[in-house]
Chains A and B, each alone.
Chain A
Amino acid sequence: MSDHSFELKGSLFPLSVLYCQDLSAAAVKTQLQQKLAQAPAFFYRAPVVINVESATQAPDFEAIAEVFKELELVLVGVCGASAELKKAAQAAGLAALQLSKSKTPAKETKEPETKTEAVVAAAVMETKVVEQNIRSGQQIYAKGADLVIRGTVGAGAEVIADGNIHIYGTLRGKAIAGAAGDNQKRVFCHKLEAELISIAGSYWLSDSLQGEYWGKSACIGLQDDKLVLADLL
Chain B
Amino acid sequence: MAKIIVVTSGKGGVGKTTSSAAIGTGIAMRGFKTVIIDFDIGLRNLDLIMGCERRVVYDFVNVINGEANLKQAMIKDKRIDTLFILPASQTRDKDALSKEGVERILNELAQEFDYIICDSPAGIESGAMMALYFADEAVVVTNPEVSSVRDSDRILGMLSSKSRRAEQGLPGIKEHLLLTRYNPERVVKGEMLSVEDVGEILAIKLLGVIPESQAVLNASNSGQPVILDQDSDAGQAYLDTVARLLGEEVPFRFLNVEKKGLLKRIFGG
The residues of A with any CB-CB pair to B shorter than 8 Å are 132-138, 151-152, 154-157, 169-170, 172
The residues in B between 112 and 164 inclusive whose CB is less than 8 angstroms from any CB of A are 124, 150-151, 153-154, 156-158, 160-161
Residue B201 lies at the interface, judged by CB distance under 8 Å to chain A: yes
Q: What is the CA–CA distance of A154 and B152 in the complex, to the nearest angstrom?
A: 11
Count of chain B residues near A, Cβ 8 A: 13
Q: How far is the CB of B161 from chain A (nearest CB, A)?
A: 7
Q: What is the CA–CA distance of A182 and B187 in the complex, to the nearest angstrom?
A: 45
The residues of B with any CB-CB pair to A shorter than 8 Å are 124, 150-151, 153-154, 156-158, 160-161, 200-201, 203
Q: Which of the residues A133, A137, A138, A156 comes within 8 Å of B203, measured between beta carbons?
A: A133
- What's the count of A-B pairs with C-beta under 8 Å? 38
What 15 new A-B contacts, CB under 8 Å, besides A133-B203, A135-B160, A136-B150?
A133-B156, A134-B157, A135-B153, A135-B154, A135-B156, A135-B158, A136-B151, A137-B157, A138-B157, A154-B153, A155-B150, A155-B153, A156-B154, A169-B203, A170-B200
Residues of B within 8 A of A134 (CB): 157
Q: Is the CB of B157 within 8 A of A135?
A: yes
Of all chain B residues, the one with the shortest Cβ separation from A151 is B203
Q: What is the CA–CA distance of A172 and B149 in the complex, to the nearest angstrom?
A: 13
Q: Is the CB of A132 within 8 A of B160?
A: yes
Interface of B is mostly: helix
Interface of A is mostly: loop
Residues of B within 8 A of A172 (CB): 201
Q: Is the CB of A136 within 8 A of B203?
A: no
Residues of B within 8 A of A132 (CB): 160
Residues of B within 8 A of A169 (CB): 203
Q: What is the CA–CA distance of A113 and B2 in the complex, to the nearest angstrom?
A: 70
Residues of B within 8 A of A170 (CB): 200
Residues of A within 8 A of B157 (CB): 134-138, 154, 157
User: With A154-B201, A172-B201 given, is the CB distance from A136 to B153 under 8 Å?
Assistant: yes
Residues of B within 8 A of A136 (CB): 150-151, 153-154, 157
Residues of B within 8 A of A157 (CB): 153, 157
Q: Which of B124, B154, B158 is packed against the most chain A CB atoms within 10 Å?
A: B154
Q: How far is the CB of B175 from chain A (nearest CB, A)?
A: 10
Of all chain A residues, the one with the shortest Cβ separation from B204 is A133
Q: Which of A134, A135, A151, A154 is packed against the most chain B CB atoms within 10 Å?
A: A135
Q: What is the CA–CA distance of A26 and B184 in the complex, to the nearest angstrom?
A: 84
9 example contacts (A-B, Cβ-Cβ < 8 A) are as follows: A132-B160, A133-B156, A135-B156, A135-B160, A136-B150, A136-B153, A137-B153, A157-B153, A172-B201
